[in-house]
Amino acid sequence: EAQVTQNPRYLITVTGKKLTVTCSQNMNHEYMSWYRQDPGLGLRQIYYSMNVEVTDKGDVPEGYKVSRKEKRNFPLILESPSPNQTSLYFCASSRPRTSGAYEQYFGPGTRLTVT
Protein backbone atom coordinates (compact mmCIF):
# COMPACT_ATOMS: atom_id res chain seq x y z
CA GLU A 1 0.00 0.00 0.00
CA ALA A 2 1.31 3.43 -0.98
CA GLN A 3 1.69 5.50 2.14
CA VAL A 4 3.56 8.04 4.21
CA THR A 5 4.30 6.93 7.74
CA GLN A 6 5.28 9.02 10.73
CA ASN A 7 6.51 8.06 14.16
CA PRO A 8 5.67 8.65 16.88
CA ARG A 9 2.02 9.61 16.50
CA TYR A 10 1.93 11.27 19.89
CA LEU A 11 4.78 12.70 21.93
CA ILE A 12 4.93 14.63 25.18
CA THR A 13 8.33 16.00 26.07
CA VAL A 14 10.00 18.70 28.13
CA THR A 15 11.68 21.89 27.06
CA GLY A 16 15.19 21.38 25.75
CA LYS A 17 15.12 17.62 25.27
CA LYS A 18 16.15 16.80 21.73
CA LEU A 19 13.71 14.75 19.70
CA THR A 20 13.30 13.35 16.21
CA VAL A 21 10.10 12.65 14.33
CA THR A 22 10.60 10.14 11.56
CA CYS A 23 8.90 10.21 8.18
CA SER A 24 9.07 7.54 5.51
CA GLN A 25 7.35 7.10 2.13
CA ASN A 26 7.23 4.03 -0.10
CA MET A 27 6.24 5.75 -3.36
CA ASN A 28 9.76 6.72 -4.52
CA HIS A 29 8.76 10.38 -4.40
CA GLU A 30 11.41 13.02 -4.92
CA TYR A 31 9.70 15.83 -3.02
CA MET A 32 9.09 15.67 0.72
CA SER A 33 7.91 18.32 3.09
CA TRP A 34 7.13 18.98 6.74
CA TYR A 35 4.21 21.10 7.90
CA ARG A 36 2.89 22.20 11.23
CA GLN A 37 -0.82 22.71 11.78
CA ASP A 38 -2.06 25.22 14.34
CA PRO A 39 -5.65 26.35 14.95
CA GLY A 40 -6.65 29.23 12.72
CA LEU A 41 -3.37 29.13 10.79
CA GLY A 42 -3.85 26.12 8.56
CA LEU A 43 -0.75 24.20 7.54
CA ARG A 44 2.54 26.03 7.32
CA GLN A 45 5.60 24.58 5.66
CA ILE A 46 8.64 24.07 7.90
CA TYR A 47 11.20 22.51 5.53
CA TYR A 48 11.14 20.73 2.24
CA SER A 49 13.42 18.54 0.18
CA MET A 50 13.55 18.28 -3.60
CA ASN A 51 15.67 15.10 -3.50
CA VAL A 52 18.41 13.33 -1.57
CA GLU A 53 20.79 15.81 0.07
CA VAL A 54 18.71 18.77 -1.19
CA THR A 55 16.76 20.56 1.53
CA ASP A 56 15.54 24.11 2.01
CA LYS A 57 13.64 26.25 4.46
CA GLY A 58 9.92 26.73 4.28
CA ASP A 59 7.93 29.47 5.94
CA VAL A 60 8.56 28.60 9.61
CA PRO A 61 11.96 26.86 9.87
CA GLU A 62 13.20 28.36 13.15
CA GLY A 63 13.95 25.73 15.77
CA TYR A 64 13.87 22.81 13.35
CA LYS A 65 16.36 20.79 11.34
CA VAL A 66 15.93 18.15 8.67
CA SER A 67 18.08 15.76 6.70
CA ARG A 68 17.55 13.69 3.54
CA LYS A 69 20.15 10.99 3.37
CA GLU A 70 17.86 8.47 1.70
CA LYS A 71 15.08 9.11 -0.75
CA ARG A 72 12.41 7.47 1.36
CA ASN A 73 13.19 9.14 4.72
CA PHE A 74 12.91 12.73 5.84
CA PRO A 75 13.26 13.09 9.63
CA LEU A 76 12.36 16.27 11.48
CA ILE A 77 14.71 17.19 14.33
CA LEU A 78 13.98 19.52 17.22
CA GLU A 79 17.32 20.03 18.94
CA SER A 80 15.96 22.10 21.84
CA PRO A 81 12.17 22.01 21.80
CA SER A 82 10.22 24.89 23.30
CA PRO A 83 6.53 25.16 24.27
CA ASN A 84 5.77 27.23 21.14
CA GLN A 85 6.60 24.13 19.10
CA THR A 86 3.61 22.33 20.56
CA SER A 87 1.64 21.52 17.43
CA LEU A 88 0.39 18.86 15.04
CA TYR A 89 3.04 17.94 12.49
CA PHE A 90 2.52 16.42 9.06
CA CYS A 91 4.97 14.94 6.64
CA ALA A 92 4.04 14.87 2.96
CA SER A 93 5.53 13.59 -0.27
CA SER A 94 4.89 14.00 -3.98
CA ARG A 95 6.40 13.44 -7.39
CA PRO A 96 6.67 16.83 -9.10
CA ARG A 97 5.47 17.05 -12.68
CA THR A 98 5.60 19.73 -15.33
CA SER A 99 1.93 20.37 -14.72
CA GLY A 100 1.39 21.49 -11.15
CA ALA A 101 -1.81 19.48 -10.82
CA TYR A 102 -0.29 16.64 -8.79
CA GLU A 103 -1.29 15.83 -5.25
CA GLN A 104 0.75 15.63 -2.10
CA TYR A 105 0.33 12.54 0.04
CA PHE A 106 0.20 13.14 3.76
CA GLY A 107 1.21 11.09 6.75
CA PRO A 108 -1.20 10.58 9.68
CA GLY A 109 0.34 13.34 11.77
CA THR A 110 2.38 13.60 14.98
CA ARG A 111 0.89 15.47 17.89
CA LEU A 112 3.72 17.02 19.89
CA THR A 113 3.36 18.64 23.30
CA VAL A 114 6.33 20.44 24.82
CA THR A 115 5.97 21.33 28.51
Quick check: helix, strand or coil at residue 83? helix
CB of 18 to another protein, least distance (A): 25
Q: How far apart are CA 75 and CA 73, in angstroms?
A: 6
Q: Which amino acid is at 15?
A: T
| CA separation for the pair 54, 74 (Å, rounded) | 11
43 binds another protein (CB under 8 A): yes
Residue count of the chain? 115
Q: State how far the Cα of 39 lies from the Cα of 12, in Å rounded to an integer.
A: 19
Residue 34 sits in the site that holds another protein (CB under 8 A): no
C-beta of 9 vs 17, nearer to another protein:
9
- Binding flag, residue 74, another protein (CB under 8 A): no
Note whether 89 binds another protein by CB under 8 A. Answer: no
Q: Is 101 near another protein (CB under 8 A)?
A: yes
Site for another protein, rule CB under 8 A: 4, 31, 33, 35, 40-45, 48, 50, 58, 90, 92, 94, 96, 99-101, 103-104, 106-109
